[in-house]
Amino acid sequence: MLECSDLTLAYGKHVALDGVSLRVDAGEMVAILGANGAGKSSLLGAIGGRVRPRAGQVRLDGADLLDMPDHARVGRGIALVPEGRGIFPGLSVADNLALGANPAHARAGADARRAEVLALFPRLAERQAQLAGTMSGGEQQMVAIGRALMSAPRLLLLDEPSLGLAPIVVQEVFAALARIRRTGLTILIVEQNARATLALADRAYLLEAGRITGSGPAETLRTDPAVVRAFLGGAAVAGE
Ligand SMILES: Nc1ncnc2c1ncn2[C@@H]1O[C@H](COP(=O)(O)OP(=O)(O)OP(=O)(O)O)[C@@H](O)[C@H]1O
Ligand SMILES: [Mg+2]
C-alpha cells in the first residue's frame, strides 16, 4: 500500500533521513523504533506531507504522493496524528472531531464514523462539549486520534501517541490502538514505548541517525539481543 524508497531529507546541512526505504502492506500495523533525533517524526512528516524530502519517493497504491498537493493527499486517505497532537485547544471535543471530517470524501459517512469514534473512546462521548485544551494529556491524545479517524483514513500515521502520558493512560491508549487495529485499518506508528508497540505491531523498522538499520517481524525483534539492548532496556525475557 505505502512504499517509501530512498528518502533523503535535510534541514539545512543536517541530514535527518538518509536513503530510507520501507513499505507497509494493506491491513498491516508497522512500527518505527528509534532514539530521540533518529528522524522518526521527519519520516512521518515526509509521508504525511509536512516536510518535503530532498530526494526519494513516497507512493500510495503506486501513485506518487510527493507531487500531490496537500488536499489531494488527504483525499487519498492519509491521516497524520502528529507528535504533540495538534488539536485545537480552544474548540470543543465535538468541534475537533467535526473538523476531522472536513475532507470531501469523509463528509458522507461522518455521523456513522463519529459514533464509531465515541464507542472507541467512551470518555470523549461524555465530554463532547468540553474545550479540548482543558482535557488531560491522555484525553487530548484520544481527541487527536479520534479526529484523524473522522477523516476516514486508509492509512493512519501515529507519531508517539503515548509520549508524556502516565503509565495507566499509556495502557489505555494502547488498548484503543489494539481496537483500531482490529478494524483492519493500516497503521504506521512511531513510538519510544518499544515493548508495547512490538506487542501490537506486525513488523517494525529500526531507525538510527536517519538510516534504517534493521527490520523484521515484531515477534522476532522482541527477542533480538541488539533490539533488546537498544530499545527494550535490558535482557530479553523468554516467553514474554
Ligand atoms: N525544523 C527543523 N529544523 C532543523 N532541524 C530539525 C528540524 N526538525 C528536526 N530537525 C532535526 O532533525 C533530526 C531528526 O528530528 P526528528 O524530529 O525527525 O527526530 P525524532 O526521531 O522524531 O526525535 P524525537 O524522538 O525526539 O521525537 C534531529 O536532529 C532534529 O534536531
Ligand atoms: Mg519525533
pLDDT tens column, 77-93: 899 998 888 899 999 99
The predicted pLDDT at position 204 comes to 97
Closest by CA to 141, choosing from 176, 114, 109, 106, is 176
Closest by CA to 100, choosing from 121, 42, 44, is 121
**Substitution site in 8, 32, 41 for ligand 1 pocket (most atoms within 8 Å of beta carbon):** 41
Mean pLDDT of 33-62: 92
- Specify the length of the chain in residues: 240
Residue nearest to atom 18 of ligand 1 (CA): 39
Ligand 1 in reach of 37 Cβ (< 6 A):
yes
**Separation between Cα atoms, residue 122 and residue 116, nearest integer Å:** 10
pLDDT tens column, 110-162: 999 999 999 999 999 999 999 999 999 999 999 999 999 999 999 999 999 99
pLDDT-based confidence at residue 8 (cuts at 50, 70, 90) = very high
Residue nearest to atom 5 of ligand 1 (CA): 11
Which-ligand-closest: CA of 17?
1
pTM of the full predicted structure? 0.92
Q: Please, are residues 81 and 151 in contact by the beta-carbon 8 Å criterion?
A: no
The predicted pLDDT at position 103 comes to 78
Task: Tell me the chain's radius of gyration from C-alpha atoms.
Answer: 17
Domain ranges of the chain: 1-77+154-240, 89-152
| HSE, side-chain direction, 13 A CA sphere, residue 63 | 12
pLDDT-based confidence at residue 234 (cuts at 50, 70, 90) = low
Q: Does the pLDDT of residue 235 top 60, yes or no?
A: no
The predicted pLDDT at position 236 comes to 45
pLDDT tens column, 151-201: 999 999 999 999 989 888 899 899 999 999 999 999 999 998 888 999 999
Ligand 1 in reach of 16 Cβ (< 6 A):
yes
**Separation between Cα atoms, residue 155 and residue 25, nearest integer Å:** 10
pLDDT-based confidence at residue 238 (cuts at 50, 70, 90) = very low
Kindly compute the dihedral angle of the four CA atoms of residues 29, 34, 39, 44, in this order, to the nearest 10 degrees.
Answer: 10
Atom of ligand 1 nearest to the CA of 210: 14
C-alpha cell belonging to residue 1: 500500500
Q: Please, are residues 164 and 118 in contact by the beta-carbon 8 Å criterion?
A: no
Mean pLDDT of 87-108: 90
Residue nearest to atom 24 of ligand 1 (CA): 36
Which has the higher per-residue pLDDT, 195 or 71?
195
pLDDT-based confidence at residue 57 (cuts at 50, 70, 90) = very high
Q: Average pLDDT over the chain, rounded to whole? A: 90
**Separation between Cα atoms, residue 103 and residue 57, nearest integer Å:** 24
Residues whose CB is less than 8 angstroms from the CB of residue 113 and which lie 6 or more positions away in sequence, other chains included:
101, 106, 149, 150, 152
Atom of ligand 1 nearest to the CA of 12: 4
Topology adopted by domain 1-77+154-240: Rossmann fold (3.40.50)
Q: Please, are residues 48 and 78 in contact by the beta-carbon 8 Å criterion?
A: yes
Spell out a b/e string for 125-152, using b for 16 or more CB atoms within 10 Å of the CB, else e.
Answer: eebeeeebeebeebbbbbbbbbbbbbbb
The position carrying cell 530532498 is 54
